Amino acid sequence: MTQKSQIPPSPSIQLKPSNRNPKEPGKPSLKNGTPSAPRLRFPWNGSPTAPTIPDARPPLPRRSPRSIFTADPSTWPPMPGRRPPMTRILRFTDRAKRSSQIPVHVSPEEADGFKDVDDFVCIAHLQPSETSLREAFEDMAKKHWTEFTFGVVETQAADSKVVCRKRDDASTHTSSSPDGLEAWLTEASRPLITDLSRATHERLLKRGWPMVYIFHPSAATRASIRAQLSSFAKSQYASLTSVTVDPAYFPDLPGKLGLDPARDGYPAGAVHQLSNGRVYRYPKDKGFTPKELQGWGLDVWQGRVKAWTPAGQEEPKEEKAGGANVRIVGSSNLKVKNIPGLKIKIGGRERDEL
């Protein structure tokens, strides 16, 4: 009869205090006023589980890493490392995939579908003998491929031209001159109302028209505001530049416009008249609807709203109604209704009322 061999159990772990105090046996020596921790002695055979050593600290509560935030993203603290919205990232990666060929060569049959692959798509319809417009278009495409999509269609048509389509208002823009092509592209590509980025801020400021800033940390809320104000932005497209702003990307901009969203809440807005540097803060008790924004803009133009003055600076001198943003143009007298954003020619001067 075969006798089963028995494996002796592994010996238990023994805690052996180290650095005994020779003066007082049984007590560990003090190092910097703190008893040294007991040393674990493991047997050579086997790997027993380490015993649980009591911790004097109270246990930390278990919670989700994001439970420190509320459900509303607008109340989250600003994060300097916040990434762009996923849609913007995906559009850039799509452009990067097409960047192996700048501009993309498109067949006439593919051109109709190609014009809708991005928010702003430019397609050059070029004759084989066309050189100047081709060179200007290729240079522009290589410079702006990270923002827009460019394609070339070889054609036998009588005239060569560049046709660009803007998705937000389904508008089409056409140019056939190589001179000033980039300036034309800059203006044609400007959305009705866009989310401000560092890449576009300087370009929009160069227009010289009043900037309408609307701040909110939530991307979804900013998108809702843009959709709500699209009709307003379209009607004032030629004389105003309207943008929504993520304060995490521009943390210093609200303070420069006299706004304190941390105290007053979001959304917060202001208008910056680039012609004279004046800033008008949008009232906290008004909503961001086309009707309310237009009514307030008319009050600004008629001089019923005072400009914000930074601390330590003198208040600007009062101007007559409609005195802001004056540009000298041809002499003409027109009787028109005062509509916010409308350019008015009075006595040889062209004005926008904001």
CA 164 from chain centre, in angstroms, equals 24
Confirm if 122 and 150 have CB atoms less than 8 A apart: yes
User: In the prediction, which pLDDT does 35 show?
Assistant: 55
pTM above threshold 0.85 = no
Give the count of beta carbons closer than 10 Å to the beta carbon of residue 150. Answer: 27
Confirm if 251 and 77 have CB atoms less than 8 A apart: no
- Judge residue 185's burial from the number of C-beta atoms within 10 Å of its C-beta, 0-12 exposed, 13-18 middle, 19 or more buried: buried
Could you say which DSSP state residue 78 is in?
A: P
> Could you write out the three-class secondary structure of 2-36?
CCCCCCCCCCCCEEECCCECCCCCCCECEECCEEC
User: In the prediction, which pLDDT does 88 show?
Assistant: 60
Amino acid in position 290:
P
Closest CA to 217 of 75, 84, 69, 68: 75
Task: State how far the Cα of 175 lies from the Cα of 161, in Å rounded to an integer.
Answer: 6
DSSP H or E stretch at residue 278: strand 278-281
Could you give the angle at the alpha carbon of 121 between the alpha carbons of 83 and 216, nearest 5°? 30
Give the count of beta carbons closer than 10 Å to the beta carbon of residue 278. Answer: 19
What is the residue-level pLDDT of the chain in tens, covering all 354 positions?
A: 555 555 555 555 555 555 555 555 555 555 555 555 555 554 444 445 544 544 444 454 444 443 333 334 333 334 444 445 566 666 656 656 555 557 888 898 888 888 888 889 999 999 999 999 999 999 998 988 888 889 999 988 888 999 999 988 889 999 999 999 999 998 899 889 999 988 889 889 988 899 999 999 999 999 999 999 999 999 999 899 999 999 999 999 999 999 999 999 999 999 999 999 999 999 999 999 999 999 999 999 898 999 998 877 777 665 554 444 433 333 333 233 343 444 434 334 444 444
Length of the chain in residues, anyone? 354
Task: State how far the Cα of 335 lies from the Cα of 44, in Å rounded to an integer.
Answer: 102
The H-assigned helical ranges of 214-342 are: 219-228, 230-235, 253-256, 261-264, 290-301
- Judge residue 18's burial from the number of C-beta atoms within 10 Å of its C-beta, 0-12 exposed, 13-18 middle, 19 or more buried: exposed
User: In the prediction, which pLDDT does 164 show?
Assistant: 94
User: In the prediction, which pLDDT does 24 show?
Assistant: 55
Domains of the chain: 84-189 (3.40.30.10), 191-308 (3.40.30.10)
User: In the prediction, which pLDDT does 295 show?
Assistant: 93
User: In the prediction, which pLDDT does 145 show?
Assistant: 83
CA torsion angle 176 182 184 190 (round to 10): 140
User: In the prediction, which pLDDT does 19 show?
Assistant: 52
Query: For helices 132-144 and 181-188, what crossing angle results, to 10°?
Result: 50
User: In the prediction, which pLDDT does 352 show?
Assistant: 47
